[in-house]
Chains A and B, each alone.
Chain A
Amino acid sequence: MFFKKKDRGIREAGWDRTLITGVVGMVYFAPVFWIILNAFKTRQDGLATPPKLFFTPSMDNFFNVFYRITDAGDHVATGMGLYFFNSIFAAGAGVLLALVIGTLAAYGFSRYPLRGNDTYLFVILTTRMLPPIVVIIPIFLMFRVTGLSGSYIGIILLYAMFNLAFSVWMMKSFFDELSTDVEDAARLDGINEIKVFFKICIPQLTAGLAATAVFALILTWNEFLFALLLTGNDTRTVPVAMARAMGGQLGVDYGLLSAIITLFLIPVFVVTYMLQNHLLRGVTFGTVKK
Chain B
Amino acid sequence: MTALHVQGLVKHFDNVRAVDGLDMDVADGEFFALLGPSASGKTTTLRTICGIEQADAGNIFLDGKDMTTAQVRDRGVAMVFQTFALYPHLSIFDNLAFPLREQKLSRADIATRVGEIAEMLRLTHTLDRKPGTASGGEQQRIAIGRALVRRPKLLLLDEPLTNLDAKLRHDTRAEFKRLHREHGMTIVYATPDELEALSLGQRIGIMNEGRMVQVGTVDEVYDSPVNPFVAAQVGSPRMNLISAVRQGSDENPVIELPFADVSGGPWAHALKAFPVGAEVLFGIRPHDLSTDQSADVGPKFIGTVHLTEPLGDIVILDLVANGTQFKLVLPEEQAVRYGVGDELPLTFGLSNTHVFAKETGIAIR
Q: Which residues of A contact B (CB under 8 A)?
A: 179, 181-182, 184-191, 200, 203-204, 283-290
Contacts and interface: CB of A to CB of B under 8 A. Distances in A.
A182 to B, nearest CB: 5
Contact of B89 (A179, A181, A283, A290): A283
B112 to A, nearest CB: 18
Contacts of B98: 186, 189
Given A188-B77, A189-B99, A190-B99, A287 B86 contact: yes
19 contacts: A181-B81, A182-B85, A182-B86, A185-B85, A186-B87, A187-B52, A188-B51, A189-B98, A190-B99, A203-B89, A203-B90, A204-B89, A284-B88, A284-B132, A287-B86, A287-B139, A289-B136, A289-B163, A290-B83
Contacts of B82: 181
Contacts of B52: 184, 187-188
Contacts of B87: 182, 185-186, 200, 287
Given A189-B98, A204-B89, A288 B83 contact: yes
A203 B88 CA distance: 9
Contact of B88 (A187, A189, A190, A283): A283
A186 B86 CA distance: 9
Contacts of B84: 287-289
Contacts of A189: 98-99, 102, 146, 150
Of B82, B84, B136, chain A has the most CB atoms within 10 Å of the CB of B84
Q: How large is the interface on B (under 10, 10 to 19, 20 to 34, 35 or more residues)?
A: 20 to 34
Given A179-B83, A181-B83, A189-B99, A286 B146 contact: no
Contacts of A186: 87, 98
B72 A187 contact: yes
- Smallest CB-CB A-B distances: 9 pairs: A181-B85, A287-B88, A190-B73, A189-B99, A203-B89, A185-B85, A190-B102, A286-B132, A289-B163
Contacts of A187: 52, 72
Contacts of A287: 84, 86-88, 130-132, 139
B181 to A, nearest CB: 24
A190 B50 CA distance: 11
Contacts of A283: 88-89, 132
A290 B163 CA distance: 9
A191 B83 contact: no
Interface in B269-321: none
Nearest to A202: B89
Nearest to B147: A188
B69 interface: no
Nearest to B158: A181
A272 to B, nearest CB: 23
B103 A190 contact: yes
A190 to B, nearest CB: 4
A222 to B, nearest CB: 33
B157 interface: no
Given A187-B52, A190-B102, A288 B77 contact: no
B78 A188 contact: yes
Interface of B: 47, 50-52, 72-73, 77-79, 81-90, 98-99, 102-103, 130-133, 136, 139, 146, 150, 163
B72 A190 contact: yes
Given A181-B81, A287-B132, A288-B83, A188 B50 contact: yes
B132 A285 contact: yes
A289 B131 CA distance: 12
B67 to A, nearest CB: 14
Contacts of B150: 189
Nearest to A180: B85
A80 B79 CA distance: 61
Nearest to A189: B99
Contacts of A288: 83-86, 88
Contacts of B133: 286
Contacts of A184: 47, 52, 81, 85
A192 to B, nearest CB: 9
Contacts of A286: 132-133
Contacts of B85: 179, 181-182, 184-185, 288
Contacts of A185: 79, 81, 85-87, 146
Contacts of A284: 88-89, 132
Of B73, B83, B136, B146, chain A has the most CB atoms within 10 Å of the CB of B83
B78 to A, nearest CB: 6
B44 to A, nearest CB: 12
A204 B72 contact: no
Nearest to B100: A189
Nearest to B86: A287
A200 to B, nearest CB: 7
A131 B98 CA distance: 49
A286 B88 CA distance: 8
Nearest to A184: B52
A287 B84 CA distance: 8
B99 A182 contact: no
A186 B87 CA distance: 8
A290 B150 CA distance: 27
Contacts of A204: 88-89
Contacts of A290: 83
Contacts of B130: 287
Given A287-B139, A288-B83, A289-B83, A188 B89 contact: no
Contacts of B99: 189-190
A290 B78 CA distance: 22
B88 A182 contact: yes
A288 B130 CA distance: 12
A217 B83 CA distance: 36
Given A181-B85, A187-B72, A289-B83, 20 more contacts: A179-B85, A181-B81, A182-B88, A184-B81, A185-B85, A185-B86, A185-B87, A188-B50, A189-B146, A190-B73, A191-B102, A286-B133, A287-B84, A287-B86, A287-B88, A287-B131, A288-B84, A288-B85, A289-B136, A290-B83
